[in-house]
Every structure is written in C-alpha cells, then in structure tokens.
C-alpha cells in the first residue's frame, strides 16, 4: 500500500482514539493502535515506530493538511483533544476548498448531456448544498452541446457494454437506407465529434473497424452467446492521423501542404488543423504562411478546409486540390 494511504489510515486511527474519551491514551497506546490498524488492513505485521506517530501528531496539529487538530498532552503522559467535539472528519471547509468545489461542480454540470452523468445529478446537487452554494450564478465554463440530439439514450447502455466487453447487435439505419440493417459489433469506444456521438468497434464477421453514429441507431441488444474480441489495429494511436471519425482502407494518407493568406494564417497558426501541423519556413511579408499536416484525406478534413473559403489554397497533394476545386465549382453552378 502506498505510503500516503498508510499515513491517512494512521491519522484516522489516531483521530478515532482521541475521540474515545473513555480511555486515556499514551503515545505507546497510539503506536499500538496504528500498528493494529495497518495489520488489519494489509494482513501482515508492519509495526509503526514511535517516531512515525510523533510526526503524525505534529502533522495533524499543523495546517499543512487543513486539520489544525487541538491535540494536547495532559499529566505529561496522555493525549487528547482539547475540544471533545473535534474530529478530522468534521473539520470545516476553507474558502479555498469551497471555491475549488464550486468550479468542479460547474464543470460537472456541463456533462449532463451524457446519460451516465444523469445518475450524478442528485450527488452534484447535494455536494453543492454542502459547500453552501445555494446562490444562483452564471456558469463560468460552457461546453458546446446539443441536448436535442437523437441517440443520447444509447450512451449509457453502450458504455456499459464496452466496459463489460460484451458483443452487441445493432439495428442501424444510415441516411440513405430505407430500412435498418443489423450489425454484429465488438464495441471499443464512444467518441464525440462536433456534437455527434459515434460508436467505434469491429464487425464480428470480418473484424473490420468502423463507426456508427448514435443518432442513426434504431435499437440494439447484447449478444452474450458470442465471445467478445479485441482488434489489435484499434490502439491508442488509431486517431493520430485523422481529423474527425472517418478512417478506412480506401482513404489515402498524405502530407497536405496548405497556403494560408493573411486573413487565415494567424488563425491556423494558433488553432492547428491537426496535431501534426508544422509551419514551413517563416511568415511572409504579406502575413501569409504555408503549413503541412500528415493526415488521412477524409470527408471531415475536406469540410474543415472548405470552411476557410478563399483564404487558403491546397498546394499538395494535387488530388485533394482537385476535390476542393470541383466542390467550389459545383457550388457556383448551384447559384
């Protein structure tokens, strides 16, 4: 057991002893009580030294842990609390503690879109009451979210299936399909992208990795009779070379070189297109810059680049530049 956990157990043991006013506690009594508590917890003898308990008493008296315990010695031999009502578990929160808890509560409330956090709502409310935050105030942090998004009811049960390593059968209707199609899936991950949730997993028939948008799921059920399988291709680095969620064998990975004029260069410099982004050369006198990223060319990348309008130009690969040119041309024809 970690040393800090040992110390916490000793503090609680000393606190329990000193709150028992029906007995007089010597230093050796406290040492024996701490040794017994550690033996009961760990199941092996590990005697606590007198010096350790003396340092514990000193730490509890100080404000380093926020205890400031009123421990006194009487008759030059026995230890007790000068305040019989004191306990380290009942110490009041400092203003700093309250401020930290209030900020944490604000952050927790931003996640109420996730079904699993609905279970925490009552806990968060009680916590807020505990830290005397009954007053209403505007939130300081606000995450982008869409509470009306379909499919959120599947977040919690799918989360549980992933945690329990359970195979699932999902009835899924894509945007172009008239009827739902069943997929037998080994689920691995729930991922949010631009206010939509996606389930990543492998198809049971060919172990192909793909994703399903939760708002297109019609229904699903667990298939305990089909053993769950991991896919070694779905590792921690799976998303390293993509923007968004789309990645399959038919997509090309390339080094994309982007010219950005002075209206977009600073924006791209401070908010990179991708984690691999690098500045090629230096900023030009007119404020323009050239960037490179190493990514899979997927629909999310194209959508991102289109958002910069005529403020950027794709220098390479030529295939990506041609795709964007065709999209812009078609947009003009639709006017």
How many Cβ atoms are within 10 Å of 278's Cβ, its own excluded? Answer: 11
30 pLDDT more than 70: yes
Mean model confidence pLDDT for the chain: 84
What is the arithmetic mean of pLDDT over 210-231? 93
Which pLDDT belongs to residue 132? 46
What is the arithmetic mean of pLDDT over 29-44? 86
**For the ranges 41-45, 228-232, 270-274, 308-312, which has the lowest average pLDDT?**
41-45
Cross-sheet strand order for the sheet of 209-213: 209-213, 196-203, 181-193, 168-172, 217-222
pTM of the model: 0.60
pLDDT category of residue 330 using cuts at 50, 70 and 90: confident
Helix, strand, coil percent values for the chain (each to nearest 5): 40, 20, 40
What is the arithmetic mean of pLDDT over 88-94? 71
Q: Cα Rg for the chain, rounded, in angstroms?
A: 30
- Residue 69: partners with Cβ closer than 8 Å, 6 or more residues away: 15, 60, 61, 81, 86, 88
pLDDT one-digit tens code per residue, 95-149:
666 666 666 666 665 555 554 555 555 555 555 555 544 344 555 556 666 667 7
The dihedrals phi and psi of 90, each to the nearest 5 degrees, come to -110, 10
Which pLDDT belongs to residue 195? 82
Cross-sheet strand order for the sheet of 289-296: 278-280, 289-296, 253-260, 312-316
pLDDT category of residue 65 using cuts at 50, 70 and 90: confident
- Residue 99: partners with Cβ closer than 8 Å, 6 or more residues away: none
């Amino acid at each position: 057991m970690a040393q800090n956990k040992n110390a916490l157990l000793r503090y609680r043991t000393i606190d329990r002893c000193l709150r028992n006013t029906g007995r007089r506690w010597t230093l050796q009594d406290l040492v024996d009580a701490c040794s017994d508590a550690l033996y009961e917890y760990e199941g092996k003898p590990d005697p606590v030294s007198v010096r350790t308990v003396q340092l514990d008493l000193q730490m509890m008296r100080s404000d380093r842990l926020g205890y400031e315990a009123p421990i006194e010695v009487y008759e030059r031999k026995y230890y007790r609390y000068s305040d019989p009502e004191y306990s380290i578990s009942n110490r009041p929160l400092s203003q700093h503690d309250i401020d930290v808890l209030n900020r944490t509560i604000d952050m927790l409330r931003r996640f109420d879109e996730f079904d699993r956090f609905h279970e925490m709502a009552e806990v968060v409310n009680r916590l807020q009451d505990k830290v005397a935050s009954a007053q209403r105030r505007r939130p300081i942090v606000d995450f982008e979210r869409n509470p009306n998004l379909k499919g959120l009811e599947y977040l919690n049960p799918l989360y549980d299936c992933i945690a329990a390593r359970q195979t699932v059968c999902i009835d899924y209707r894509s945007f172009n399909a008239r009827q739902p199609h069943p997929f037998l899936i080994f689920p691995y991950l729930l991922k949010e992208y631009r206010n939509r949730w996606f389930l990543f997993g492998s198809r049971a028939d060919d172990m192909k990795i793909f994703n399903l948008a939760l708002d297109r799921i019609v229904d699903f059920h667990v298939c305990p009779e089909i053993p769950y399988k991991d896919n070694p291709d779905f590792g921690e680095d799976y998303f390293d070379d993509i923007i968004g969620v789309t990645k399959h064998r038919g997509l090309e990975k390339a080094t994309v070189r982007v010219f950005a004029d002075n209206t977009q260069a600073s924006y791209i410099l401070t908010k990179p297109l991708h984690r691999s982004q690098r500045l090629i050369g230096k900023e030009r006198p007119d404020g323009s810059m050239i960037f490179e990223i190493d990514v899979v060319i997927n629909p999310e990348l194209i959508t991102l680049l289109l958002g910069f309008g005529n403020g950027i130009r794709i220098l390479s690969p030529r295939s990506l530049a041609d795709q964007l040119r065709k999209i812009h041309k078609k947009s003009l024809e639709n006017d």
